[in-house]
Amino acid sequence: MSLFIYGTATNTGKDFFTRQNRLDFFLESHIGDVWVVGNNEKGALWLASKNAVIKTKEEAQAIVDAEITAAQAAWDALDFESSEERSLANGSRPVPTTLP
């Protein structure tokens, strides 16, 4: 059995995930509204309560990869004289992420 469940859901802000949620199950948020939660009853119920669209790990990773690529392109297009200036002004260039 997989250790995690993957899904997409839009973060609606305050208390979208609560202190108790974080204590109850593993939870990570990624670019592209991708969520990774622990594969247990409380994690599954939380995803369901957010009307999340369940994804396979490969599908979720593909969403993240595409979003990272787009974010890198947008970062590269920022109007600065050098990569160093871009970093100083906007933080680090987005880097690929491997989902757990």
Partner 1 sequence: MSSYNVINGLKVRFLTADPPSPENGEVWYNSSSIRAQGIAGTGVWSSGGSAPSALAGSAMAGNNTDAMAWGGDNGGGTPTWPRTSYHYNGSSWTSDGTIPTALNQSGQAGVGHTTAIMWGGNNPPGSAASVTNKFNGSSWSASGNLNDARRYAYLTGAGPQTACIAIGAGPSQATHEHFNGSSWTTKTDFPSGSNTIYSIGTQTATLGVSGGNGTTASWDGSSWTGIPSSLNSNRQYGAAGGANTNSAYVFGGGSSNAVELYNGTSWATQPTMARSRDSSGGSGISSNALIAGQSYGNSSVEEFTIPFGTATISSS
79 binds partner 1 (CB under 8 A): yes
Is residue 18 at the binding interface for partner 1, with CB under 8 A as the rule?
yes
Task: Give the integer Cα–Cα distance in Å for 72 and 67.
Answer: 9
Site string for partner 1, 53-72 (x = CB under 8 A): ------------------x-
Q: Does 98 sit near partner 1 (CB under 8 A)? A: no
Instruction: Please give the Cα distance from 100 to 93 (Å, whole number).
Output: 21
Q: How far is the CB of 58 from partner 1 (least distance, A)?
A: 21
Q: Cα dihedral sign for 23, 100, 17, 38?
A: negative
